[in-house]
Amino acid sequence: MSDTLSLISRWVDENRDHCIDFFQQIINIPSPSGEEHQVAEHIASKMNEYGYNTAKVDKLGDVMGTIKGTGGGRSFLLNGHIDHVPVGDMVDPYSGKLMDGAAFGDKGKVLYGRAACDMKGAVAAMVLAGRALNELGIKLKGDYRVTGVALEEVGGAGTKSTIVDSQFLADVVLIGEATNMELALGHRGSIKFDVIVHGRSCHASAPERGINALYKAMKMITKIKEELAPSLPVHPVFGKASLVVTQIEVSPEASNVVPETCHFVIDCRNHPDFTDHHLYEALNKIITDLKQTDPEFTATVIPGTIINERRFNGFYTDPEKTPVVDEAVKAITEAYRVPEKKIWTFATDGRIYAHLGIPVIGFGPGEEKYAHTQMDHVRIDDFIGTIKVYAWLACQICGVA
């Protein structure tokens, strides 16, 4: 272990309680999508306290902080979102309490609360890694940049704003979404399609006079579930494409009327071998097949995007083409443990940077399976390890002056 890494590791261990306290502070501040300003301002104040050269909050509630490098090194941007999904039935969601991990099948202490793993644990670690570098007097050649973005859970407007309005970019980007301390290199794409099934309304007392659009939609949904979904192709990198019906509604919404339309939404996680074009064609084939056996069946597929056979909005950072992957593996191994390479199952803001041609890697505490659940938590040892990894990664990517 290098002297610099030893210094980082010792500082984090000695400041363990302070680090946990900061994590708890930002869990304590509610920040559902669209209400991020309070937590963003708190993070910005801490960045100033921790010696960041600049720290600001934009109009959307994105917080951005920079530790300026001396020059001659690559810049490194760490991105994490500070908004979260609704708390639902979660108990004490903003407590940030320390618990015995046995409640979740984990060893040691965990920190519990809404957004712990998705993803304030990573954001706290990003900010604290910068504090460690400053307090240890470690001067980087390249800029160290941290952004806690708003509105990620509802489309990614925050990250887009930091890029377009603030030009907050870097040579290498790390996304802190939960990876269970492994190295993520990408994820599948995401497609949303709407289907409108048509019928004919009538009084519910005489259903034979109408055509029940809900019953017709059930036929199509059954085919999607039992025939289309199981047959989706497997990609050697991204794995199997998936799709599921997530929402359904009828019109008119009256308990005594046979519905004349039924609208349902499909969420598809795709890969380059199964594009939006392929999904569009597959859905229309189901409609054609149903019409052959049921002349009254009629439906319209409404793609969420312009059909483009080449379109794919996921991303993959290929280790064979991107040297930063090997650099990350080495740094994570030295600071924590040997990481496995993986693909996220969900989409991240990493796709936005990747589509600009910037190398993107992913590393963060917490497990994907706990995101958006009542068991949202992060193991404390992993949180502490993440601070060390981020600080050491910065030294490797930016260079030490």
Report the number of distinct structural domains present in the chain.
2
Does 162 lie in the same domain as 63?
Answer: yes
Confidence at residue 303, expressed as pLDDT on a 0 to 100 scale: 85
Does 210 lie in the same domain as 138?
Answer: no
End-to-end CA distance of the chain: 19
Last residue of a domain, one of 247, 278, 303: 303
Does 299 lie in the same domain as 371?
Answer: no
Residue 227 resides in a domain: yes
CB atoms within 10 A of CB 6: 10
Predicted confidence pLDDT, tens digits, the chain (401 residues): 589 999 999 999 999 999 999 999 999 999 999 999 999 999 999 999 999 999 999 999 999 999 999 999 999 999 999 999 999 999 999 999 999 999 999 999 999 999 999 999 999 999 999 999 999 999 999 999 999 999 999 989 999 999 999 999 999 999 999 999 999 999 999 999 999 999 999 999 999 999 999 999 999 999 999 999 999 999 999 999 999 999 999 999 999 999 999 999 999 999 999 998 899 999 999 999 999 999 999 999 998 765 554 467 899 999 999 999 999 999 999 999 999 999 999 999 999 999 999 999 999 999 999 999 999 999 999 999 999 999 999 999 999 99
Does 67 lie in the same domain as 172?
Answer: yes
Of residues 187, 191, 176, the one with CA closest to residue 121: 176
**Burial group, residue 229, by CB count within 10 angstroms (0-12, 13-18, 19+):** middle
140, 133 Cβ separation under 8 angstroms: yes
Confidence at residue 309, expressed as pLDDT on a 0 to 100 scale: 46
CATH number of the domain to which 150 belongs? 3.40.630.10
Confidence at residue 215, expressed as pLDDT on a 0 to 100 scale: 98
Does 180 lie in the same domain as 150?
Answer: yes
> In whole angstroms, how far apart are CA 274 and each of 227, 241, 301, 317?
16, 7, 17, 19
Does 132 lie in the same domain as 54?
Answer: yes
216, 285 Cβ separation under 8 angstroms: no
Does 341 lie in the same domain as 225?
Answer: no
Q: What angle do CA 387, 29, 183 make, to 5 degrees?
A: 30
Does 146 lie in the same domain as 48?
Answer: yes
Q: Token pair for residue 30?
A: 């509610």
Does 161 lie in the same domain as 47?
Answer: yes
* Residue ranges making up the domain that contains 129: 3-187+315-398
